[in-house]
Amino acid sequence: MHEMSLCEGVIQLIEQQADEQDFNKVTTVWLEIGALAGVEVEAMRFSFDAIARNTIADAAKLEIIHVQGHAACPLCKQQTEVSARFDLCPACGHYPLNILAGEEMRIKELEVQ
Amino acid sequence: MCTTCGCAEGDTTIEGHTHEHAHTHDHDHSHDHSHGHHHENALMATHAAGISPSRILKIEQDILSKNNAYASDNRGYFNQRNMLALNLVSSPGSGKTTLLTRTLNDLKGEVSLAVIEGDQQTVLDAERIRATGVKAIQINTGKGCHLDAHMVGHALESLKPEDNSLLFIENVGNLVCPASFDLGEAHKVVILSVTEGEDKPLKYPDMFHAAGLMLLNKTDLLPYLDFDVDQCIAYAQRVNPGITILQVSATTGEGMEQWYQWLLDLHQSIQTTTAQQITIDQDA
């Protein structure tokens, strides 16, 4: 359940932003989470509501932007969608593939007042 | 929460003390404002009249950026002192502490050693380690399922490992969460025991992908188990083709010499690199 600590990280970064960018309420948080980031989205939602309580992001809406795993085969150059780190190249069966997208774990945007 | 250095781990204690007592919080960490902010991208959002104006801020910050900054501080600390730091990860019950105590007993005459122990509760493991005569400190994460770089930084303040030492950081027994948290270590070492399934590398690929070395432990029990060693190795290599795999039994000592050799070679390479740098500096 490291989603709990990830949410603590999110709140810390938001509080830091609040100091620098002068806002005192966050109403929406957009997170970008990749399919290969090892993050359970439902656990993230659950943790966020709990961790955000009594902070600047209390009752903020959490929007999670899912990023599909995407990889390229170093041998045949085929690009493909992947759902796991160890997926084989669908064209030639080679592994490992070079991961191009899907490892994201980012705060993208905030709606603030 | 500590507002000075941003500690949010309210349940974390180091040897029974909370952060507030374990250190003075007078850090001058250089990472506090090192992230790229995109003030120029702040956009005004449309809003209904009568409601306080809301705006959208583009942030684009990695959620782990704070941990990664602390990890980078720890890595600087280790480099400065020519230390080799390893992050030991596994499921609970893989025999990690037994393997570690045997390693400490066998190597303490050859190299200076130190240990940071991570568990949710109790100082039992640190006591087991200290019984070997090696310096150890316990971090209790409370509800936390992994160590993070910030906790390790605080533990180092109390542990004060010697220069040129080999530091083992024994993470909380968990094959999921510690994979994402860099502590500043040179390598993660994943310990898998043959009493677990051979498909663990596929079930927990992030951890096996993040590790530089896999120790397949409890090999003395293989005659009594239906565990396919070759299949397990193939799975680990599928997730991480570059991973080194050693088969050991911390109980009988079988295979432990290869592990010690791996450790001493790596430790030696750090000392040699530093010695070369000193020579170059003197020549310059």
Q: Order the strands of the B84-90 sheet from edge to edge.
A: B17-18, B13-14, B135-140, B113-119, B166-170, B84-90, B187-193, B213-217, B244-247
Of the candidates B62, B148, B205, which has its C-beta nearest A106's C-beta?
B62
Mean of pLDDT over chain B: 85
Cα(B183)–Cα(B185) distance, rounded to whole angstroms? Answer: 6
CA distance A56 to A16: 11
- CA–CA distance, A110 with A16 (Å, rounded to integer): 13
Class at the top of the CATH hierarchy for domain B67-273: alpha beta
| 3-state class (DSSP) for residue B195 | coil
pLDDT confidence of residue B135 = 95
Contact A20 B37 (CB under 8 A): yes
0.95 exceeded by pTM:
no
- Taking CA–CA distances from B58, the nearest residue in chain A reads A109
Nearest chain B residue to A14, by CA: B59
pLDDT digits (tens, 9 = 90+) for A41-62: 999 999 999 999 999 999 999 9
Give the residue from B12, B32, B58, B59 with the most A CB atoms within 10 Å of its CB, the best one to mutate.
B59
Nearest chain A residue to B178 by CA distance is A2
ipTM for the assembly: 0.89
The class of domain A3-112 in CATH terms is alpha beta
Nearest by CB to residue B61, choosing from A4, A23, A106, is: A106
pLDDT at A98: 94
The domain limits of chain A are: 3-112
| pLDDT of the residue at A58 | 96
What are the start-end ranges of the E strands in A1-113? 26-34, 61-67, 69-72, 79-82, 98-101, 105-112
Q: Which residues of B touch A (CB under 8 A)?
A: 6, 8-9, 32, 37, 39, 42, 45, 52-67, 143-146, 148, 176-177, 179-181, 202, 205-206, 209, 238-241
* Each residue's pLDDT tens digit, B199-248: 999 999 999 999 999 999 999 999 999 999 999 999 999 999 999 999 99
Residue with more model confidence, B154 or B272: B154
Using a CB–CB cut-off of 8 Å, the residues of A that contact B are 1-2, 4-6, 8-13, 16-17, 20-21, 23, 25, 27, 31, 37-38, 84-86, 95-96, 105-113
pLDDT in tens, B177-192: 899 999 999 999 999 9
The partner residue sitting opposite A105, judged by closest CB among B64, B176, B239, is B64
pLDDT of B43 above 70: no
**pLDDT band with cut points at 50, 70 and 90 for residue B58:** very high
Count how many pairs of residues, chain A against chain B, have C-beta atoms within 8 Å.
Answer: 111
pLDDT tens digits for range B195-209: 999 999 999 999 999
Chain A contacts of B64, Cβ < 8 Å?
A: 6, 9, 105
pLDDT, position B154: 96
* Domain ranges for chain B: 67-273
Give SS3 for B217.
strand
* CA–CA separation, A56 and A11 (whole Å): 8
Task: Name the band, by pLDDT with cuts 50, 70 and 90, for residue B279.
Answer: confident
Supply the pLDDT for residue B4: 40
Q: pLDDT tens for residues A18-40?
A: 999 999 999 999 999 999 999 99
pLDDT of B146 reads: 92
Q: Are the CB atoms for B141 and B119 separated by under 8 Å?
A: yes
